[in-house]
Structure 1
Amino acid sequence: MVLSSPLAQASAEIGEGHSNPFKIFGMLTPLMWAFFFTGWFAWVCDAIDFFAMSLSTARLATYFHRQVSQVTLSITLTLLFRPLGAFIFGLAGDRYGRKWPLVINMAILSFLSLGTGFVRNWSAFLALRSLFGCAMGGVWGLAVSQSLENMPVEARGIFSGFLQLGYPVGYLIIAAINLEKTVAMAGNWRYLFWIGAGFAMASAILRLLVPESTYFAERKKLLHQQRQQNPQDQSYTHQNWVFAKELFRMLRKDWALCVFGIVFMTAFNFYSHGSQDLYPTYIQKGKGLSQMAATKTTIIGNVGAIAGCTVGGYVSQYLGRRLTIIVMCLFCCAMLPLWLLPNTFGGLAAGAFFVQAGVQGAYGVVPVYLSEISPPAFRAMWPGVAYQLGNMISSAAAQIEATAGEKLKTSSGLPDYGKVSAILIAVAAGVLILCCLIGMEDHGAKFEKGQAAFEVGAGDQRNARAHEAEPHDEEDGLEKSGVQHVEHVTSRM
């Protein structure tokens, strides 16, 4: 058997089920690392821009003369508009390639973040954050698709965790910047958004320097060969028509999968945002600690999130995607009393670390899990839209926590944001466990062998299983993926 592609060679050298992560790292080519890093860094920048808002909530309330619950409306609007961006940029990524849609996406994100720092009135601020949400929505699907499709199957679990930990890394960066005394001053909230704009533009430039995804380049090469044989049927207009036709075919065929993805990610986003959005406010107004203490505890929590993402993604390669999510959800719920009951900095910091390890340990599995169950030709759009529709439906989480917390008081008369957040986390974890118990799993799917969305029959594909034989050469693999419909295998616990 001749394995001519770098991806196939790396997979063969790593070996089925290999458990040594350092060997996995050593088998990856520089180009694989470049694809992963640019996707990961884009996701880091998304987090920097998003958490610039949550870190500024109290200061924005003072600046615009609003209640905290009113300021969180901007977070809600950002989440509401994310699915639109996921749909637009995701479709562009599946139709035109992974490179340019992500470059354009990050450039727009940079301009909008820069503009946020110049806003002077409340209405303009809300309008700009709505547009910002649309731009943010496109990042995750594009980053995941280009990062994982260029990784060997055996490496996708741990790199799924690495990819998702980009979010807590992004938070750590912007939170560390927020510790600087000048930035932390009440009137200097604008600096956070300007810094976020610089990071986003750097991400766009970095992606510009890396070539098109290998998977997409190969599919375009095959299409070019077909165009030479039949120019009329492979025209640009014909490709757009085929793309639209295959999109509707996929939606008609996989509607139940779409519903599952939305419910699953709605629970996941309540789970995540319930533990994050109002946490600095909870520490300051619910526990009476300073803004500096709130920032430090949140930083410690995100260190736990990084550890959780790494462990969760790695373990899922061997334990399975769904079972790993269940274990992490149970661990998180067991740690909620430590997150809720202490009143000292040390106790609250420990609770933040372990709860975020559980939350993000489960979340570290999401990129690879959604990629594996996704319709193969729409891996930029489908996971991104499912993810962001979940964000949209859960967009009221911050307002629910803020409004209920202001009405529910602690024994000392302070707003009890923590109790409301703990209830929300526990309920969301329960729904996630139920979804995992009844849901599907396609562990080890070789989605990189599938057709691209502009090819006839792409909407009818099923993911290829990990145990199936490799094609004898790269060209043969492309041809087989265009005609072979592999049954989607589901497993139950």
Structure 2
Amino acid sequence: MKDFTNGLFKLPSREERIAARAGAPLNPFKLAMMLSPMQGAMFFSGWLAWTMDAWDFFSVSLGLTAIGKTLGTPGAPISASTLSTSITLTLLFRPLGAAIFGLLSDRYGRKWPLVANLIIIAALSLGSGKVETLAAFLGVRCLFGIGMGGIWGMATATALENMPAAARGLFSGILQQGYAVGYLLAASVNISLVPQKGAEGWRVLFYLGAGLSLFAALVRALLPESELYLRLKKERAERGNLGGTSKAKTFVNELGHMLRSHWGRCIFGVLLMTGFNFLSHSSQDLYPTIIQKVKFADLPAKAPHYASLATIVANCGAICGGLIAGYLSQYLGRRLTIIIFVILTGTLIPAWILPNSFSGLAAGAFFIQFGVQGAWGVVPIYLSEISPPAFRATFAGVAYQLGNMVSAASAQIEARGGESLQIPNPLAGEKGQPNTIPDYATVSGILLGVVCAYLLLIIVFGREYRGAEFEKVAP
């Protein structure tokens, strides 16, 4: 009888377990010591690029309420659902950036396309902090989406493709949590520096993000080209010379062959990343708004402070989850590790949305992000291992960002749903206060639960190539 789970629940023999570990020692410090200084520097460069990308993206979520007040009119701030359109537009345009920069990276190298990409998002982050109208803000965030779309695929290829197979699981978790570190750093600035700058202090987040993105570009510019890419480039040139075709034509022919040969894998990648992107966005994008507008609606002066604190706690959980899951995936397998952490996420949803005290909300946020980003910690290496070697940046980046495009409406779904599902306002009766407020928390919990169920279904029927040699064609 055919196993539709592709061996997910099959108990491996001792020899199979040893082979699947790809020589990975149990001691994580020994795993880290397997990297050469140059491999460590390349990993840091990819991690830093992804960290700065997250800072620039989450600057909108953290400043949503303040941005609405600044860009709106006195007494009539722009609503969260309207302003969340900027998040949706950013996500919608990311696949275009992934395709453009992914193809440039696979054709011309990992180094200079990533440097150019980081400079572009630095300029657009600066522009985001300079706008004075909603229309201008939405326009800049559309362009930012194109720039942001290219970062993940190139950062992942830069960080992981030259790394020993045994160390990839651990460092996949560390790499992906650059996303949480970027969010954590931005939230720390939002709670410390932004309030000192007054009503328009939110602009500081974008200005700092621009400077740090330029620093990430400088770090990558100082490092050499990827060794694996140079070998693949040499092989491509030799095939072109033997066939009497140009390098560009050889590249296009290989791209067409990849799409014909691996179309099923491409579809699976998009379906997988649709679920993962809904998983992260439904648990993160509107979370500061939930704290401010629902849980602490009766404390409008303190609510922004509590929102930033809870976001910091949540991202500490995310970092812990990503590190642990990435490490475990080298031994349990990529898919089984993801399944464990998605189930954990689903069971913790009530603890995430039901508490009304700050301590309860902070604890729920820590553990929900432990589960969400734990599952995410396996994604970089999982996508890299199923990617065709000659198109690793394109395949991983486009699959990721197409999934992002499908999940682009997550913030608006939560915002519109919350506005449709009203709960009593604790400040009702006071001057200018409505009788009810949107219940964003319940809608976010329902959406996250549905996403967990969908993701489990996709993962169970997927495939796995743990320990695959990146230099060889994927099975």
Q: Same fold (TM over 0.5)?
A: yes
CA distance in 2, matches of 1:360, 1:231: 46
CA contact (8 A) 1:87 1:385 kept: yes
For residue 28 of structure 2, what is the aligned residue in structure 1?
21
For residue 54 of structure 2, what is the aligned residue in structure 1?
47
For residue 441 of structure 2, what is the aligned residue in structure 1?
418
For residue 430 of structure 2, what is the aligned residue in structure 1?
none
For residue 135 of structure 1, what is the aligned residue in structure 2?
147
For residue 482 of structure 1, what is the aligned residue in structure 2?
none
Task: Describe the SS at the equivalent of 1:264.
Answer: helix
Are 1:83 and 2:83 matched, yes or no? no
Task: Describe the SS at the equivalent of 2:292.
Answer: helix
Task: Describe the SS at the equivalent of 1:379.
Answer: helix
* Aligned partner letter, 1:94: D
Aligned residues: 435
CA distance in 1, matches of 2:242, 2:176: 42
CA distance in 1, matches of 2:239, 2:30: 39
For residue 169 of structure 1, what is the aligned residue in structure 2?
181
Worse-matched range after superposition: 267-276 or 119-128: 119-128
CA distance in 1, matches of 2:84, 2:252: 37
Q: 1:181 to 1:95 in 2, by over 3 A?
A: closer
1:268-308 per-residue CA deviation (whole Å, 9 max, x = no partner) reads 11111000000000011111251000110011000000000
Where do 5+ consecutive residues of structure 1 fail to align?
1-11, 451-461, 464-487, 489-493
CA distance in 2, matches of 1:108, 1:444: 35
CA distance in 1, matches of 2:183, 2:124: 19
Question: 4+ residue runs of structure 1 moved beyond 6 angstroms?
Answer: 224-227
1:178-235 per-residue CA deviation (whole Å, 9 max, x = no partner) reads 11254463222111111110011000000000000111123345566778xx59936x
1:135-163 per-residue CA deviation (whole Å, 9 max, x = no partner) reads 00000000111211111000000000000
CA shift for structure 1 position 410: 2.8
CA contact (8 A) 1:304 1:356 kept: yes
For residue 468 of structure 1, what is the aligned residue in structure 2?
none
Task: Describe the SS at the equivalent of 2:438.
Answer: coil
* Aligned partner letter, 1:340: I
* Aligned partner letter, 2:291: I
For residue 335 of structure 1, what is the aligned residue in structure 2?
348
Q: Any residues of structure 2 matched to 1:418-457 within 5 Å, and which?
A: 418-447=441-470, 449-450=471-472
CA contact (8 A) 2:24 2:167 kept: no
For residue 359 of structure 2, the aligned residue among 316, 334, 346 is 346
For residue 380 of structure 1, what is the aligned residue in structure 2?
393
Q: Any residues of structure 2 matched to 1:214-293 within 5 Å, and which?
A: 214-221=227-234, 230=241, 233=244, 238-288=246-296, 290-293=303-306
CA distance in 1, matches of 2:450, 2:151: 28
CA RMSD of the aligned region, Å? 1.8
For residue 484 of structure 1, what is the aligned residue in structure 2?
none
* Aligned partner letter, 1:435: I
For residue 9 of structure 2, what is the aligned residue in structure 1?
none
* Aligned partner letter, 1:53: V
Worse-matched range after superposition: 246-255 or 432-441: 246-255
CA distance in 1, matches of 2:126, 2:399: 28
1:228-250 per-residue CA deviation (whole Å, 9 max, x = no partner) reads xx59936xxx1101111111121
For residue 159 of structure 1, what is the aligned residue in structure 2?
171
CA shift for structure 1 position 17: 3.2
CA distance in 1, matches of 2:389, 2:22: 24
CA shift for structure 1 position 260: 1.1
CA distance in 1, matches of 2:274, 2:210: 28
Task: Describe the SS at the equivalent of 2:407.
Answer: helix
Task: Describe the SS at the equivalent of 2:370.
Answer: helix
CA distance in 2, matches of 1:302, 1:62: 26
Q: 1:226 to 1:285 in 2, by over 3 A?
A: closer
CA distance in 1, matches of 2:278, 2:237: 45
* Aligned partner letter, 2:397: G
For residue 317 of structure 2, what is the aligned residue in structure 1?
304
* Aligned partner letter, 1:391: N
CA contact (8 A) 1:89 1:138 kept: yes
CA distance in 2, matches of 1:268, 1:87: 19
CA distance in 2, matches of 1:145, 1:90: 10
* Aligned partner letter, 2:61: S
Task: Describe the SS at the equivalent of 2:25.
Answer: coil
Worse-matched range after superposition: 55-64 or 273-282: 55-64
Are 1:198 and 2:206 matched, yes or no? no
CA contact (8 A) 1:93 1:142 kept: yes
Worse-matched range after superposition: 307-316 or 250-259: 250-259
Where do 5+ consecutive residues of structure 2 fail to align?
1-18, 73-77, 426-435
CA shift for structure 1 position 27: 2.3
For residue 159 of structure 2, what is the aligned residue in structure 1?
147
CA distance in 2, matches of 1:138, 1:269: 16
CA distance in 2, matches of 1:182, 1:120: 18
CA shift for structure 1 position 368: 0.5
CA contact (8 A) 2:70 2:200 kept: yes
CA contact (8 A) 1:183 1:192 kept: no
* Aligned partner letter, 1:18: P
Are 1:180 and 2:192 matched, yes or no? yes
For residue 126 of structure 1, what is the aligned residue in structure 2?
138
Worse-matched range after superposition: 105-114 or 210-219: 210-219
Task: Describe the SS at the equivalent of 1:410.
Answer: strand
Are 1:321 and 2:334 matched, yes or no? yes
For residue 63 of structure 2, what is the aligned residue in structure 1?
56
Are 1:37 and 2:44 matched, yes or no? yes
Q: Give TM-score scaled by structure 2 length.
A: 0.89
* Aligned partner letter, 1:272: S
Worse-matched range after superposition: 245-254 or 354-363: 245-254
Q: 1:409 to 1:213 in 2, by over 3 A?
A: same
Q: Any residues of structure 2 matched to 1:85-104 within 5 Å, and which?
A: 85-104=97-116
CA distance in 1, matches of 2:22, 2:453: 36
CA distance in 1, matches of 2:268, 2:187: 35
For residue 116 of structure 1, what is the aligned residue in structure 2?
128
1:14-63 per-residue CA deviation (whole Å, 9 max, x = no partner) reads 97132111112122111000110000000000000001111111111112
* Aligned partner letter, 1:397: S
CA contact (8 A) 1:177 1:183 kept: no
Task: Describe the SS at the equivalent of 1:27.
Answer: coil
CA contact (8 A) 1:270 1:394 kept: yes
